[in-house]
Amino acid sequence: MRLANIGPATTALPCARCPLLVRCTRSRSRSCLLLTAFAAAISAVPRNAHGQRADTDSTAHPTPAQLHRVIVTARAVPPAMGVLPATQDGAIFAGKKTEVITLDSLNANLAQDVERQMLGRIPGAHISETEGAGFPSNGIAFRGLDPTQSVEMNVRQNGVNIAADIFGYPETYYTPPPEALARMEIVRGAASLAFGPQFGGMIDYVVRDGSPGRPQFTTTLTAGSYGAVNFFDAIGGGSDSLTYYAFIDARREDGWRPNADFRQAAGFGRVTWRPSARLTLGAELTLFRNQVHMAGGLDDSAFAADPRASFRARNWLESPWNVAALHARYDISATARLENTLSYVQGSRALVWRNEDGGPGAPDLIDPATGDTIPREVEQETFGTLTLESRLLMEHDVFSRPGTLSAGVRVSSVEGSRYEGGTGTNGDDPDFHLVSGTWETALRLHTGNVAGFAEDMIRLSDRLTLVPGLRIEWVRSSVSGYTDVTDRFAPITYTFPLFGVGASYVTGASTELYANLSQAYRPVLYSSLTPLGSVARVSPDLHSSRGANADFGWRGNFGTALSFDVGLFYLWYGDRIGTRTVSDSSGEYEEVANIGSSVHRGVESYLQLNVSELAGMSPRAGVASLFTSFGWVDARYVSGEFKGNRVEEAPEILARFGATYALRGVSTTVQVSHTASSFADANNSPQGTADAAGGPIPAYTLIDWSFGVAIARAWVLTGGVNNLAGATYFTTRTVEYPGPGILPGNGRSAYLGVRAAY
């Protein structure tokens, strides 16, 4: 028997009408009625006085009967916003602030990776919108941390680190195309114990997987303003023992500004084999290629006159990225599971540009001797990271109470190179070769890391759970080679422990209190180990930053009408590393040093209302819902020369409001996003500096509209308008690459796509 077209599901909640201890979607759905009937059949089995099934007459049924196979097929759309379970993939998430975004449940511009729409429900998510401006991807941060290239986050794809070097160069040059994602999982600062010492926490981009059965094929074509075109094709399927999934994504845009065009392509393949009930093996490969034309930055006067202006036409970037991973999961017993991941990330960055000398408005100069434009500068970087991560999840007893232990090790080796200041061609094409001379900077970089961690989830009562934990990191960073000012670099070795404890208290059938306190750490990066130029120096007292994150919140839902997560946080960031101006007998110079400590405190809240249920609307009238995510951050320096100043790129208010309405295959969402003002420099310069790298980042409000229409059984029409009101804004200022100066955000644009799934 096959049941089809059961219909979309809403938020999965306990069903009062279902006698089974299950979670279903709506008490009136056919799936719930089926479960109810199944439970009634089970309850009809004769039982003895102790509630056990009574033995039946063997003469009446001499042999067991074989029932016909029953296949139940339902179309389920999970809730857009949720939380991680107490344990998953060998890690413990109880007592931590977590969020899960399910991409299929959103109306959002996935084809153009508009992350403010995809992450709109995550309170306090600060997005650096720099994709296409010279950075290969957008960045994300929380709680007043730097969002550029997600440098304060542990960024993963399917559990694998995808940044260049999380201890020496933690920038993210690749993120998977959103159309390939099943969900995004986020853990705030408490992720430092299980995943790494980053202050910002962890974000994992989870790619879809194949399901047993006939092959499932998906194809999407999206076109939009300013020459935007995106193709996405995927196939998945398999059997009970072997499944597979693969996609190809190709995207191009001409850009909202001149000289802002880019091309990129990504491919992915995964095979999962289950040779036995206990063992699961998997292999996956990701390839990413891109070419970005960089329009350069603007100073404040140029941005005010024309935010679409560009004074650079010869700046280009390429950053190919490759990620390979092998996974193995073995169920040692009914109470113990071992998970291993061996991964290799190979990435590079090649840059050819008219550099920052002279500021944002400096033209590409003409050589009077030849009449040609002057040669451009070339930079090249490569990184190769080999990592083994092993996690053990084991059930056990602690003082006669049930507990769950998560323990693991991480071993990583990174080899990299950096070449800067080379002489490139004087053309305007993306030619990244060194034409003549030698490099001003030529460095070999190495990072070795060994880490071990353990967390124990102790259930002190039916309601209260305690999760203490410890992580110990050993890191050694070394540099060899030369710059234009030195060829001597002292290696730096760190050994540091991180402690943390979390707690969860169940306050109702579907609500809980959570709290957590975890330490964090940020080592000295390569950029701080090497002088920035002839007028820059590194302080001999430079050392790493330490700190901690604290959370306290209440989350859950009341029926299907209300979902919420309201919390407070406190973040201490000790001995931040930055650049300051110092003078001595030789004059003024810039020095990389520990410039002070900062404290970040605030509120993060999420609320979703099912308006249709609250208003008692008939299902025939459609489903309407509202959501709001709100973050308030007070991030200030509490020591050092900038004491009392606001931390850079830390807006006080991040507020988003959204409304969704769906009726008979038509769904539409309007989202309003407001970001308060902030400063680009620790000096809190009230006006833009001469190089436009320092100064205010004004507040801005953006309106986005998106929709989806089911036009046939397997076809969906999608579309919308980004920045509907045509607001003029920018999210960041840069010191040099890919500016310097202001990188404007995109103006109003529209898109329309069609998706087919078979």
**Does 151 fall in a domain?**
no
State percent of the chain over pLDDT 70: 87
H or E segment and range at residue 300: helix 300-305
What is the chain's Cα-based Rg?
A: 27
Residue 529, pLDDT score: 65
Which one of 37, 57, 77 terminates a domain? 77
**Does 138 fall in a domain?**
no
CA 253 to chain centre: 23
**Does 134 fall in a domain?**
no
Mean pLDDT for the stretch of residues 664-677: 96
Residue 9, pLDDT score: 32
599 and 452 part of one domain? yes
Residue 113, pLDDT score: 81
394 vs 487, residue with greater confidence: 394
Q: Alpha-carbon distance 607 to 542, whole Å?
A: 43
User: Minimal CA–CA distance to 379: which of 441, 314, 301, 450?
Assistant: 441
Residues 6+ apart with CB under 8 A from 67: none
Mean pLDDT for the stretch of residues 469-496: 88
Residue 44, pLDDT score: 38
pLDDT at 316 exceeding the cut of 90: yes
Total number of domains in the chain = 2
State percent of the chain over pLDDT 90: 68
| Strand residue runs (E) in 306-440 | 315-318, 321-333, 336-353, 377-398, 401-423
Say if CB 281 and CB 287 are below 8 A apart: no
Say if CB 314 and CB 428 are below 8 A apart: yes
Say if CB 626 and CB 658 are below 8 A apart: yes
**Does 167 fall in a domain?**
no
Structure tokens of 354?
Answer: 């008219």
Provide the whole-model pTM. Answer: 0.88
For 333, other C-beta atoms within 10 Å of its C-beta total 9
pLDDT tens digits, one per residue of 683-714:
899 999 888 889 999 999 999 999 999 998 88
**Does 128 fall in a domain?**
no
491 and 628 part of one domain? yes
H or E segment and range at residue 704: strand 700-710
Say if CB 566 and CB 513 are below 8 A apart: no
Residue 580, pLDDT score: 73
> For residue 674, what is the domain's CATH number?
2.40.170.20
Q: What is the dihedral of CA 49, 52, 56, 61, to 10 degrees?
A: 160
Q: Which residues pair with 125 in a beta bridge?
A: none
560 and 422 part of one domain? yes
pLDDT tens digits, one per residue of 74-114:
334 457 899 999 999 999 999 999 999 999 888 988 988 88
State the number of CA atoms in the 13 A half-sphere of 138 facing the CB. 21
Q: Alpha-carbon distance 73 to 430, whole Å?
A: 51
User: Minimal CA–CA distance to 187: which of 502, 563, 598?
Assistant: 502
pLDDT tens digits, one per residue of 249-278:
999 999 999 999 999 999 999 999 999 999
Mean pLDDT for the stretch of residues 420-424: 93
Residues 6+ apart with CB under 8 A from 353: 294, 312, 314, 315, 316, 376, 377, 737, 738
User: Minimal CA–CA distance to 499: which of 515, 517, 514?
Assistant: 517
Backbone angles phi, psi at 300, to 5 degrees: -65, -40
- Give the best-scoring range by mean pLDDT among 77-91, 610-624, 742-756: 742-756
Backbone angles phi, psi at 212, to 5 degrees: -60, 140
User: Minimal CA–CA distance to 375: which of 350, 352, 351, 349?
Assistant: 352
37 vs 644, residue with greater confidence: 644
**Does 176 fall in a domain?**
no
Say if CB 13 and CB 81 are below 8 A apart: no
**Sign of the alpha-carbon dihedral angle for 725, 729, 731, 736:** positive
Across the chain, what does the average pLDDT equal? Answer: 87
Residue 717, pLDDT score: 96
pLDDT at 421 exceeding the cut of 60: yes
Structure tokens of 736?
Answer: 């040099």
Mean pLDDT for the stretch of residues 153-163: 95
Backbone angles phi, psi at 7, to 5 degrees: 110, 165
pLDDT at 536 exceeding the cut of 80: no
Which one of 33, 59, 77 terminates a domain? 77
User: Minimal CA–CA distance to 173: which of 320, 384, 279?
Assistant: 320
pLDDT tens digits, one per residue of 22-65:
333 333 333 343 333 333 333 333 443 333 333 334 334 444 45
72 and 220 part of one domain? no
Residues 6+ apart with CB under 8 A from 151: 139, 170, 171, 172
Say if CB 727 and CB 756 are below 8 A apart: no
Mean pLDDT for the stretch of residues 315-338: 96
Structure tokens of 396?
Answer: 């056990």
Residue 395, pLDDT score: 96
- Give the best-scoring range by mean pLDDT among 60-69, 581-590, 632-641: 632-641
Residue 491, pLDDT score: 84
248 and 395 part of one domain? yes
**Does 84 fall in a domain?**
no
- Band (666; pLDDT cuts 50, 70, 90): very high
Backbone angles phi, psi at 605, to 5 degrees: -140, 145
591 and 727 part of one domain? yes
| 3-state DSSP percent of the chain in helix, strand and coil, to 5 | 5, 55, 40
Say if CB 441 and CB 483 are below 8 A apart: yes
Say if CB 570 and CB 97 are below 8 A apart: no
Q: Which domain holds residue 36?
A: 1-49+68-77
Distances (CA, A) of 449 to 130, 168, 193, 491, 496: 30, 11, 15, 14, 12
pLDDT at 565 exceeding the cut of 70: yes
**Does 105 fall in a domain?**
no
